[in-house]
Chain A
Amino acid sequence: MKLRPIAAIALRQFYLMRGSPTRVLPMIAWVAVDIVLWGFISRYLNTVTSSGINFIASLLGAVLFWDFFTRVMQGVTMAFFEDVWSRNFINVFATPLLISEYLTGLVLTSVATSLVGLVVMLLLATWLFGLPFFALGLLLLPFLLVLFLFGIGLGVLASALVLRLGPASEWLVWPIPALLSPFVGVFYPLATLPPWMRAIGHALPPSYVFENMRSVVAGHGYSGSGLLIAIALALLDILLAAWLFTVIHRYAVRSGLLARYSAESVS
């Protein structure tokens, strides 16, 4: 892999964001709205329940983690969609650019955009609602790492689907985090779920983050093996997603889909 082509993909997104406040605002606005909304809900729940659970830590913390994962995934897909929207595939894929370089460029973009979202969420959650985020200590690193890796994997997978199914299928991509959230137990323990949903939950890396986070907040410690499983699953997801993207790209070259990729040529 060469550095310049990777930098090109990331630089293009930087140019777009620098010249367009409408691209920057959603990176901040949606997560800010989420934190404020759930911050007040958590504060209210703390006043009306006597369960002893700190909802600011468990509920607002979960929202922050989930929004971070969503931003990572959308960081990849949004960068990919820019090429879809500007019908830029021929220009990009007729260069010496390797698929691995293209995907790495998308990941770099996502790192930058998701970090912006994370910083905004942390500022709001700690200043406005006193979220004890850093009380999780070094556990923050594996938690964020798992969510980051899974977000990257899912983002690449979603991009592969849009490459195969066409621009209109981007509408299948936006609800993916919402579809996954019931299975990974963002707001409740996996034990709450029926067995078939729990089984799916155990195959999804974020489940281990939220289970461990609740356990640590409740003072019960964490499962190191659970986090290792989560990291392994997330890495496997990335490998599978990158493989699928490569296979679909090859199909698109073989079938002529890439050369004629537009809203009109694919359903």
Chain B
Amino acid sequence: MRAGEIVGLLGPNGAGKTSTINMVLGVLQPSAGSICIEGTDLARHRSQALAHTNFAAVYAALPGNLTVHQNLRFFSLLYNVAGGARRIEQLLTEFDLQPLRNTRSGVLSSGEQTRLALAKALLNEPRLLLLDEPTASLDPSAANLIRSRIRAMASRSGCGILWTSHNMYEVEQTCDRVLFLSRGRILLEGDPKTLPHAHGAVTLEELFIRLAREPLAAGSQPASTATAAGR
């Protein structure tokens, strides 16, 4: 991952996208290899490495029995954010959460919960941001707004973003680079705007479907993997 780069992590269900994110978050130990965040080895210096990281995921809702402000206060302390009160106010304003600051998170709509999760994910101004289907429950307008904000944030702060999504339009619009995963391996990597044509597909969605349906079991190699393996 490079600074300011948005990388799309694509693959069918069970490909290993969420497992990859969990490994980078330090809640799942890799069976091999190592993870370095800002030059810090996660396995050896977990706390220092995770201080530069944050995430938002649809399956990791913030405690619903705390209000929006309480959740942000709680996580700002967990991430040891200096000047947390000021940062929280900034994020409440940036994500239009000021009117909801005293509302319990559990009663927020999906879109509001997503905005809260993103505000929490930016509390510590991470150098690496992991977003697992961040717009999955948003309407097209809200999703578009969130994508614009994240793109702007990435270019402004130089934060690297690893983004999973099943929305190929979104990936094409947002990501600088994509990784196609299957069974925990990278099948293909490249620019989402040029990759489909380079592999004989019209759209990224068509390429995704083709890759997802290729027989990968029992060591059989798909035709497209040969290209990826040569990189």
Residues on A facing B (Cβ under 8 Å): 2, 4-5, 7-8, 11-12, 15-16, 19-20, 82, 86-98, 253-254, 256, 258-259
Which of B29, B55, B57, B84: most chain A Cβ within 10 A?
B29
Q: Is the CB of B78 within 8 A of A5?
A: yes
Chain B: interface size category: 20 to 34
- In the complex, A94 Cα to B24 Cα: how many Å? 9
Q: How far is the CA of A256 from the CA of B27 in the complex (A)?
A: 7
Could you tell me if B28 and A91 are in contact, using CB atoms closer than 8 angstroms? no
- Known A5-B80, A7-B77, A94-B55; judge A86-B64 contact (CB<8 A): yes
Q: Is the pair A91, B60 in contact by a Cβ cutoff of 8 Å?
A: yes
Are A11 and B55 also in contact (CB < 8 A) when A16-B65, A93-B26, A96-B79 are? no
- Shortest CB–CB separation between residue A50 and chain B, in angstroms? 55
Closest residue of chain B to A92 (Cβ to Cβ) is: B78
Q: Which of B63, B78, B79, B80 is close to A86, meaning CB atoms less than 8 Å apart?
A: B63
A7 to B78, CA, bound (A): 8
Q: Which of A4, A7, A98, A259 has the most CB of B within 10 A?
A: A259
Pairs A–B under 8 Å by Cβ, sample size 25: A2-B80, A5-B78, A7-B77, A8-B78, A11-B73, A15-B66, A16-B66, A19-B67, A82-B63, A87-B60, A88-B62, A90-B25, A90-B27, A92-B78, A94-B27, A94-B53, A95-B79, A96-B46, A96-B48, A98-B47, A256-B22, A256-B28, A259-B19, A259-B22, A259-B27
Evaluate contact between B28 and A258: CB separation under 8 angstroms: yes
> B100 at interface (Cβ–Cβ under 8 A)?
no
Who on chain B is nearest to A15 by CB? Answer: B70
Contact with B77, one of A8, A87, A256 (Cβ below 8 angstroms): A8
Answer whether residue B168 sits at the interface, using C-beta atoms and an 8 A cutoff. Answer: no
Known A4-B80, A5-B80, A94-B53; further 5 A-B contacts with Cβ < 8 A: A2-B80, A96-B78, A97-B47, A259-B22, A259-B27
B95 on interface, CB distance cutoff 8 Å = no
Chain B residues with CB under 8 Å of A98's CB are: 47
| Most B-side CB within 10 Å, residue of A7, A82, A91, A258 | A91
A residues near B55, Cβ cutoff 8 Å: 94
Contacts of A15 in B (CB 8 A): 66-67, 70, 74
In the bound complex, residues from chain A placing their C-beta under 8 Å from that of B208 are none
Shortest beta-carbon distance, B52 to chain A, in Å?
Answer: 9
Number of residue pairs A-B, CB distance < 8 angstroms: 87
Are A4's CB and B77's CB within 8 A? Answer: yes
Do residues A253 and B28 form an inter-chain contact, with CB atoms below 8 A?
yes
Q: How far is the CB of A24 from chain B (nearest CB, A)?
A: 14
Pick the residue among B48, B66, B75 that contacts A95 (CB under 8 A): B75
B51: nearest residue on chain A (CB-CB)?
A: A96
CB-CB under 8 A from B78, the residues of chain A are 4-5, 8, 92, 95-97
Query: Roughly how many angstroms separate A266 CA and B50 CA in the complex, as a whole number?
Result: 26
A8, A19, A20, most chain B CB atoms within 10 A? A8
Do residues A5 and B77 form an inter-chain contact, with CB atoms below 8 A?
yes
In the assembled complex, which residues on chain B have CB atoms less than 8 Å from the CB atom of A90?
22, 25, 27, 57, 59-60
- Cα separation A256 to B22 with both chains bound (whole Å): 9
In-complex Cβ contact of B74 among A12, A89, A258 (8 A): A12
**In the complex, which of the residues A4, A95, A98, A256 has the most CB atoms of chain B within 10 Å of its own CB atom?**
A95
Contacts of A8 in B (CB 8 A): 74-75, 77-78
Contacts of A20 in B (CB 8 A): 65
State in angstroms the CA–CA spacing of A95 and B66 once bound together: 18
Selected from A16, A87, A96, the residue in CB contact (under 8 A) with B80 is: A96
A20 to B50 alpha-carbon distance, docked (Å)? 32
Task: Tell me, rounded to whole Å, the shortest Cβ–Cβ distance linking B121 to chain A.
Answer: 10
Q: With CB as the reference atom, state the residue of chain B lying closest to A94.
A: B25
Name which residue of chain B comes closest to A7, CB basis: B77
Which chain B residues border A92 with CB–CB below 8 Å?
78
Q: Are A258 and B27 in contact (CB under 8 A)?
A: yes
B68 CB, min distance to chain A CBs, angstroms = 12
Q: Chain B residues near A2 (CB, 8 Å)?
A: 80
The 6 lowest CB-CB distance pairs between A and B, nearest first, are: A8-B77, A94-B25, A96-B47, A86-B63, A95-B78, A259-B22
Chain A nearest CB, measured from B32 CB (Å): 13
Contact with A along B1-43 (1 / 0, CB 8 A): 0000000000000000001001001111100000000000000
Are A253 and B27 in contact (CB-based, < 8 A)? Answer: yes
